[in-house]
Structure 1
Amino acid sequence: MSELNQEQIIVKMGQGGLIPVFNHTDYDIARQVLDACYQGGIRVFEFTNRGDNALEVFGKLVAHAEQYPDLLLGIGTIFSAEDAQKFHQVGAQFIVSPAMIPDLAEFCKGQNILWIPGCGTVSEIYQATQLGAKVIKAFPGNVLGPGFVKSVKAVFPNVPIMPTGGVAPTKENLKTWFDAGVTCVGMGSKLITKSILQERDFDGLRHLVANALATIEEVKPN
């Protein structure tokens, strides 16, 4: 896997523009999802800390991803410094949280790890940047919407924003988000759908990912 500093990770997130957000308790399925996403062009991937065996599955994914020298693997749904430390020790290269948590900010700053907190107000974004956040997760994106991002960018023009939730791999949806000023988008079940997982249609996932990345390249403002 790729070893980059915080600024380089942010650049890489913006280059692709799409970060799959995924969790599965079955390592074999998780591995095939990761492979399909990589083959489709993904270079930054967020696994989420859901389920009792998330740490075990993530550790195996990190080992598996050693064959992909340009891939970045991060962990999401982190609420405590203790969990952040556990996942960082097994190879998480960035930490994503659904909330703005000062203890987590302090840990990540001390370890020089990219921390991406979930924020839903201008006050939270301000506090997060004061605590060292270099990227903000607009969450829940389906509630906040592109209008929130556009308004936030007016007062924080240099803060990269990544919405998660409410992002779909359609040209119309992606254009609305990127026109609003996002740096990249996180996409979960709208990308890695239940039917793909049930049918184990990993080739279909690869095509969907490749098409979404091509669409993002098309709709990104120059």
Structure 2
Amino acid sequence: MKRIETIQKIVESGVVAVIRAESKEQGMKIIEAVKKGGIKALEITMTVPGAVDIIKELSEVYKNEDVIIGAGTVLDPETARACILAGAKYIVSPSLNIETVKLCNRYRIPVMPGIMTVKEAIEALDYGAEIVKVFPGNAFGPSIISAFKGPLPQGNFMPTGGVSLENVKDWIKAGAIAVGTGGDLTKGAKTGDYELVTETARKFVEEVKKARA
């Protein structure tokens, strides 16, 4: 049931915040700012120094809050297992690694593998991925979602890469079940403007709601 609940929360939120940072300290500040803006699904990428430790710490800090901590840029099953043991509630990959998908299924943890073709999307569905990550989204644009939905109406697609405040509506209207966003969401962190990160997060949530309405 927890797996289903996690997926439902991601879909309800509509936005997964992709957290990339140059240090643990910056990462924690970004996370708090994004959470304050109303985004509940936080994806801590393995490119952040000490990412697994951050996941473990956040999972403990927010265990009684309506926030779901996941791991991103997970390239292999070994890393996926380490993240799951640290408390990650979902796993996101930039590509389709079948062994990673199988491991996550074994432990009933939602996994969102990255795909670029219909063939990869079908393979991901075959192995039980409830949400398929379209990456990099900016290589295609929102029309790729409706194109995938043609032969695969049963697929749940989440674009990441190139999703901005300007085009998030287009992605949702094209059929995306949710979006992943990083650079456009957290750009304020580069200058230490975490209030901008919070405001941007709030706007993303609002734009998704408007698009769905």
Shorter-chain TM range is: over 0.9
Matched, 1:23 2:20: yes
Residue 31 (structure 1) shift: 1.5
Q: Which moved more, 1:51-60 or 1:131-140?
A: 51-60
Instruction: Find the aligned partners of 2:23 and 2:45 in 1 and give their Cα distance.
Output: 13
The one-letter code sitting in structure 2 at the alignment partner of 1:181 is G
Compute the TM-score of the two structures, normalised by the length of structure 1: 0.90
Instruction: Find the aligned partners of 1:148 and 1:90 in 2 and give their Cα distance.
Output: 34
Corresponding residue to 2:30 among 30, 33, 39: 33
Instruction: Find the aligned partners of 2:5 and 2:153 in 1 and give their Cα distance.
Output: 19
Secondary structure in structure 1 of the residue aligned to 2:21: coil
The one-letter code sitting in structure 2 at the alignment partner of 1:178 is I
Q: Count how many residue pairs are aligned between Structure 1 and Structure 2.
A: 213
Instruction: Find the aligned partners of 1:189 and 1:163 in 2 and give their Cα distance.
Output: 14
Instruction: Find the aligned partners of 2:90 and 2:4 in 1 and give their Cα distance.
Output: 12
Instruction: Find the aligned partners of 1:153 and 1:10 in 2 and give their Cα distance.
Output: 19
Residue 5 (structure 1) shift: 2.0
Instruction: Find the aligned partners of 1:149 and 1:198 in 2 and give their Cα distance.
Output: 31
- Change in 2 beyond 3 A, CA 1:150/1:91: same
The one-letter code sitting in structure 2 at the alignment partner of 1:58 is I
Residue 56 (structure 1) shift: 2.4
Paired residues of 2:56 and 2:87 also in contact (CA < 8 A): yes
Compute the TM-score of the two structures, normalised by the length of structure 2: 0.94
1:207 maps to: 199
Q: Give the gaps of 5 or more residues in structure 2.
A: none
1:60 maps to: 57
Dislocated runs of 4+, deviation >4 Å: none
Instruction: Find the aligned partners of 1:58 and 1:136 in 2 and give their Cα distance.
Output: 22
The one-letter code sitting in structure 1 at the alignment partner of 2:111 is W
Residue 17 (structure 1) shift: 1.1
Paired residues of 1:138 and 1:144 also in contact (CA < 8 A): no
